């Protein structure tokens, strides 16, 4: 009968837990569907709806694992791209209310935005973000209102947005108990509408010239080459009111007032034909806007300056080569190099001369390649004298002693996406009117400047161009020069001080500079997940997938590169981390929202319950090398010792249970102490962690034994027969195992056994008192120990549920361990002994008790059949 009842209870519990989980999922699904029904996309006149995403879950930023990725395709000839966002809070339970959160959208063309919302610096050798595509940042509240943001004449192609809740330091956040606080989920709706102007844009041939009225807009496609384009513009029907004509040229998209490749003016009264030389984006569409000049003429360059290429910055011998791709068969792992049959080496060796420019081109594929990190390394290959220790000696300040073999050379390397720029001797790169610092400047003066590297996180899709140019010491020299840089002063032996240098005659101590030279550059281009496929020694390289898009990121250990925060695989008991931490891990789903209009003011920048473990968050760091926020070793050891040694107070509970003849309870207290101790030791920061078995096993054991200790203690307080106590112990063990497996953090997993146990105890006391009219346990138990035990449990629950924060966790949770151990001592009644001190070993606690006769052979009574 009892077995059948146990099986029935097991079946009911399994059905209930399944139904509860299914009902929660059904409620969530129904709320999202209801929200979608309310959402109406507001179409703008003359705009086309390109894409829409509803019900995207947004989470607190903890790393790139917790960001949601949104993909927007933008076609050509778009004059305005209008992005709409609406976020709101879904209230998933009936507790409290959900306050709006700060939602951040970061939008970028070509690849995922590489950002650090947690305030950490990027690792050394990371490319300057100012040299990449602009990242647009939009901030708004999840209050259900629509936010719109427009980009004029956007680049065609793929745009990517990161959506997340504003980062907050988890160390300052309160730890809240799941089931006692509001359960909220931020949901985002977004769409993209574009305005196109195809009809007003005319197609022409870039190489045959343009004969045009004013104003007019044209587009043409250039050949797949790096040669300059000569564009002839002829203006028809000149007007006295439109004598000053403005010409703007831009690649890929229409030019704007501040975004263009070429902007110049010419006067039609002087000539109605104008020739413009410009460097193109190979194989790309170029847009030409011809209109009357309405702005200040002094701010616009005359088109005559673009009539011929600059001889100073250009050379005739400018060659381009396509690199070979070498795939490694893993995510984001590939190399690029000059074509070779060597399977083990794709390092490129470039021979440069001073009368040429070399450009190398390689492709980064959209979707497939943009989720990793691109590493580019270059180095000058020096002669044997350099590596043998020969150096140019420095004498009296900045004068160097030269020899014929001691040549000073400089290599300027430029990197661009979509086009090739020209390296200049000043260390800059020029592309039409744009000047920006070179990627590398290598020179032969010392060991540190012959080598350089750069890491590009989430590289943009498209064609990448690396351009190399060699300069000899007739152009660049650290010495004093004469004859316009063709001769260099060599220090005389008679000059001994810097003052003498300023007055000495150098006419006999000069040599001619080198007008031509050559050098060899070693180049390596490689891609990998994270940085070189790893995260130093303090984290793991993981992949985040969202809607088919994949990116790599580092999950750092023990505060490296991130605030110390709890691991989602670690134990959170029946609590959960505040209103923000509730969204810790993203779920692979789509999104919700409402629609348009009424833009807000935006800031846009270009450019047993256990705990929180003290380490192991998914840290928002690129290589897990930053230890600026990590705790000291002594602090981590102190935290672990507090959390582990505080469990030793259970030894007193075990002792008291044994002397009061509660052996089952004593064994459970022992397991609770051991598993909690080793769990906290395993859940510590990696530097001080110690795991005897897998952490998930310790986690389950800690939860299970903690709840079972409450259950057995309450049954021990009940006045029931031993056979029924054994029955309830068995049923409770099965049900608590199911509840713990179902949801360790759920309040129900703790409250259900405790509520049932308290009910059984109170009901048994009432029935027993009605039957016998006196209390079974000693009066001191009801007057002293029971109230003290209840008070301790209450204080412990208040500390655990309401007072824990990330900062005080190690102290408050250690106090929780000690209070629970002491409360067991007070709550466990001393009912199996008579006239004994409840804390001392009494006569009934000796080996005369039945437990000590466990191994004794029982003597059955033998009857004489003859009788």
pLDDT at 254: 93
pLDDT at 190: 93
Tell me which residue of 180, 189, 187 sits closest to 587, measured CA to CA.
Answer: 187
What average pLDDT does range 540-547 have in this prediction? 84
* Model confidence, pTM: 0.75
Is residue 711 over pLDDT 60? Answer: yes
The whole-angstrom distance between residue 501's C-alpha and the CA centroid of its chain comes to 56
pLDDT at 28: 63
pLDDT at 78: 93
What average pLDDT does range 4-9 have in this prediction? 45
pLDDT band at 24 (very low <50, low <70, confident <90, very high): low
Sign of the torsion formed by the C-alpha atoms of 558, 559, 562 and 564? positive
DSSP structure class, residue 531 = B
Which stretches within 773-840 are classed as H helix? Answer: 779-780, 786-798, 809-827
pLDDT at 459: 94
- Of residues 498 and 371, more confidently modeled: 371
CA atoms within 13 A on the CB side of 848: 5
Is residue 541 over pLDDT 90? Answer: no
Is residue 252 over pLDDT 70? Answer: yes
Is residue 493 over pLDDT 70? Answer: no
pLDDT at 734: 93
Is residue 316 over pLDDT 80? Answer: no
Query: Is the backbone of residue 462 left (phi > 0), alpha (psi -120 to 50) or beta?
Result: left
Residue 687 CB-density burial (10 A; 0-12 exposed, 13-18 middle, 19+ buried): middle
- The interaxial angle of helices 809-827 and 786-798, nearest 10 deg, is 160
What average pLDDT does range 317-330 have in this prediction? 89
Is residue 282 over pLDDT 60? Answer: yes
Any idea what the Cα angle at residue 335 is, between residues 387 and 626, rounded to 5°?
A: 75
What average pLDDT does range 319-348 have in this prediction? 85
Name the helix (H) or strand (E) containing 702. Answer: helix 695-717
pLDDT at 102: 93
Most confident of 313-317, 623-627, 705-709: 705-709
pLDDT band at 843 (very low <50, low <70, confident <90, very high): low
Ranking 75-84, 129-138, 185-194, 681-690 by mean pLDDT, the lowest is 681-690
- Of residues 431 and 341, more confidently modeled: 431
Q: Which residues pair with 471 in a beta bridge?
A: 410
pLDDT at 793: 87
What average pLDDT does range 506-510 have in this prediction? 46
Is residue 487 over pLDDT 70? Answer: no
How far apart (Å, rounded) are the C-alpha atoms in residues 766 and 773?
10
What average pLDDT does range 29-35 have in this prediction? 61
Name the helix (H) or strand (E) containing 705. Answer: helix 695-717
pLDDT at 16: 44
What average pLDDT does range 64-87 have in this prediction? 92
Is residue 778 over pLDDT 70? Answer: yes
What average pLDDT does range 241-267 have in this prediction? 87
The whole-angstrom distance between residue 134's C-alpha and the CA centroid of its chain comes to 19
Residue 826 CB-density burial (10 A; 0-12 exposed, 13-18 middle, 19+ buried): buried
pLDDT digits (tens, 9 = 90+) for 631-660: 777 878 888 888 889 899 999 999 999 988
How far apart (Å, rounded) are the C-alpha atoms in residues 552 and 64?
8
In angstroms, the Cα distances linking 274 to 72, 230, 305 are: 39, 10, 11
pLDDT at 560: 64
pLDDT digits (tens, 9 = 90+) for 424-441: 988 899 998 889 999 999
Ranking 96-100, 349-353, 611-615 by mean pLDDT, the lowest is 611-615
Is residue 339 over pLDDT 50? Answer: yes
What average pLDDT does range 135-147 have in this prediction? 92
pLDDT band at 559 (very low <50, low <70, confident <90, very high): low
Is residue 77 over pLDDT 50? Answer: yes
What average pLDDT does range 739-766 have in this prediction? 86
pLDDT digits (tens, 9 = 90+) for 401-422: 444 455 678 899 999 999 999 9
pLDDT band at 758 (very low <50, low <70, confident <90, very high): very high
Tell me which residue of 777, 797, 794, 790 sits closest to 826, measured CA to CA.
Answer: 790
Is residue 606 over pLDDT 80? Answer: no
pLDDT at 589: 28
What average pLDDT does range 237-265 have in this prediction? 85
Is residue 48 over pLDDT 90? Answer: yes
Is residue 506 over pLDDT 80? Answer: no
What average pLDDT does range 240-245 have in this prediction? 74
In angstroms, the Cα distances linking 240 to 232, 235, 243, 267, 394 are: 22, 13, 6, 11, 66
pLDDT digits (tens, 9 = 90+) for 784-839: 888 998 998 888 888 776 776 666 778 888 888 898 899 888 888 887 877 777 77
pLDDT at 309: 66
What average pLDDT does range 196-217 have in this prediction? 87
To the nearest whole percent, how much of the chain has pLDDT over 90? Answer: 28
- Of residues 304 and 464, more confidently modeled: 464
pLDDT at 495: 42
Ranking 38-52, 366-380, 565-579, 686-700 by mean pLDDT, the lowest is 565-579
Q: What is the average pLDDT value for the chain, to the nearest integer?
A: 77
Q: Which residues pair with 73 in a beta bridge?
A: 158
What average pLDDT does range 492-508 have in this prediction? 44
pLDDT at 794: 86
pLDDT at 200: 86
How far apart (Å, rounded) are the C-alpha atoms in residues 84 and 149?
7
- Coil, strand or helix: which one is 146? strand
pLDDT at 831: 78
**Biggest distance spanned by C-alpha atoms of the chain:** 147
Domains of the chain: 14-194 (2.60.120), 229-306 (no CATH), 332-528 (no CATH), 633-842 (1.20.1070)
Is residue 309 a contact partner of residue 298, using CB atoms and an 8 Å limit? no
């Amino acid at each position: 009968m009892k077995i059948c009842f146990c099986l029935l209870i097991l079946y009911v519990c399994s059905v209930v837990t399944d139904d509860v989980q299914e009902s929660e999922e059904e409620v969530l699904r129904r709320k999202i569907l209801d929200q979608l029904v309310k959402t109406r996309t507001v179409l703008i006149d003359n705009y086309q709806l390109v894409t829409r995403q509803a019900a995207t879950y947004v989470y607190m930023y903890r790393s790139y694992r917790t960001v949601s990725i949104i993909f927007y395709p933008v076609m050509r000839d778009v004059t305005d791209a209008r992005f709409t966002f609406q976020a709101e809070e879904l209230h998933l339970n009936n507790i409290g209310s959900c306050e709006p959160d700060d939602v951040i959208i970061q939008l970028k063309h070509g690849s995922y935005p590489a950002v650090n919302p947690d305030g950490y610096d990027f690792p050394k050798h990371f490319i300057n973000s100012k040299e990449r595509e602009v990242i647009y940042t939009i901030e708004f509240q999840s209050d259900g209102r629509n936010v719109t943001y427009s980009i004029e004449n956007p680049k065609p192609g793929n745009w990517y947005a990161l959506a997340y809740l504003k980062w907050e330091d988890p160390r300052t956040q309160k730890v809240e108990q799941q089931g006692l606080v509001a359960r909220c989920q931020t949901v985002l709706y977004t769409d993209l509408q574009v305005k196109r102007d195809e009809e007003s844009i005319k197609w022409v041939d870039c190489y045959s010239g343009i004969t045009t009225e004013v104003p007019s807009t044209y587009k043409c496609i250039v050949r797949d080459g790096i040669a300059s384009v000569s564009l002839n513009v002829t203006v028809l029907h000149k007007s006295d009111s439109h004598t000053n004509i403005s010409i703007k040229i831009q690649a890929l998209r229409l030019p704007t007032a501040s975004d263009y490749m070429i902007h110049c003016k010419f006067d039609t009264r002087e000539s109605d034909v104008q020739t413009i030389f410009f460097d193109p984006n190979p194989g790309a569409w170029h847009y030409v806007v011809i209109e009357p000049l309405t702005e200040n003429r002094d701010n616009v360059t005359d088109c005559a300056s673009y009539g011929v290429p600059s001889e100073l910055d250009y050379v005739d011998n400018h060659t381009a080569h396509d690199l070979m791709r070498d795939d490694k068969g893993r995510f984001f792992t590939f190399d690029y190099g000059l074509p070779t049959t060597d399977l083990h080496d794709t390092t490129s060796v470039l021979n440069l001369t001073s009368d040429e420019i070399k450009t190398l081109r390689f492709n980064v594929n959209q979707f497939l390649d943009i989720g990793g990190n691109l590493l580019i390394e270059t180095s000058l290959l020096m002669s044997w004298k350099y590596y043998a220790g020969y150096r140019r000696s420095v004498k009296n300040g900045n004068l160097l002693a030269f020899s014929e073999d001691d040549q000073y050379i400089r290599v300027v390397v430029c990197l661009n996406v979509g086009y090739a720029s020209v390296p200049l001797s000043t260390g800059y790169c020029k592309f039409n009117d744009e000047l920006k610092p070179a990627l590398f400047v290598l020179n032969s003066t010392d060991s540190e400047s012959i080598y350089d590297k750069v890491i590009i996180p989430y590289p943009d899709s498209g064609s990448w161009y690396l351009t190399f140019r060699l300069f000899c010491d007739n152009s660049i020299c650290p010495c004093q020069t004469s004859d316009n840089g063709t001769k260099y002063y060599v220090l005389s032996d008679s000059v001994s001080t810097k003052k003498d240098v300023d007055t000495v005659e150098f006419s006999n101590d000069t040599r001619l500079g080198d007008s031509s030279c050559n050098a060899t550059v070693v180049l390596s281009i490689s891609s990998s997940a994270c940085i070189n496929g790893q995260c130093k020694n303090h984290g793991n390289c993981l992949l985040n997938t969202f809607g088919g898009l994949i990116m790599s990121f580092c999950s750092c250990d023990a505060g490296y590169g991130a605030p110390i925060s709890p691991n989602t695989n670690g134990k959170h008991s029946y609590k959960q981390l505040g209103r923000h931490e509730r969204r810790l891990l993203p779920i692979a789903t789509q999104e919700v929202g409402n629609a348009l209009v009424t833009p807000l003011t935006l800031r846009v920048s270009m450019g047993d319950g256990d705990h929180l473990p003290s380490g192991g968050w998914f840290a928002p760091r690129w290589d897990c090398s930053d230890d600026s926020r990590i705790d000291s070793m002594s602090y981590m050891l102190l935290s672990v010792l507090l959390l582990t040694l505080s469990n030793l107070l259970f030894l007193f509970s075990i002792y008291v249970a044994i002397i009061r003849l509660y052996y089952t309870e004593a064994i459970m207290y022992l397991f609770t102490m051991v598993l909690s101790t080793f769990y906290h030791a395993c859940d510590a920061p990696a530097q001080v962690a110690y795991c005897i078995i897998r952490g998930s096993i310790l986690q389950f054991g800690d939860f299970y034994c903690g709840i079972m200790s409450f259950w057995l203690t309450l049954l021990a307080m009940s006045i029931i027969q031993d056979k029924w106590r054994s029955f309830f112990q068995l049923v409770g063990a099965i049900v608590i195992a199911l509840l713990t497996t179902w949801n360790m953090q759920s309040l129900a997993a703790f409250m259900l056994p405790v509520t049932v146990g308290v009910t059984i105890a109170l009901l048994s006391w009432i029935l027993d008192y009605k039957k016998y009219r006196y209390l079974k346990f000693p009066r001191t138990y009801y007057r002293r120990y029971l109230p003290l035990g209840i008070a301790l449990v209450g204080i412990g629950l208040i500390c655990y549920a309401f007072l824990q924060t990330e900062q005080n966790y190690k102290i408050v949770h250690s106090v929780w361990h000690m209070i629970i151990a002491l409360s067991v001592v007070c709550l466990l009644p001393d009912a199996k002994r008579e006239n004994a001190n409840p804390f001392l070993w009494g006569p009934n606690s000796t080996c005369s008790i039945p437990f000590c006769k466990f191994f004794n052979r029982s003597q059955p009574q033998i009857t004489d059949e003859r009788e």
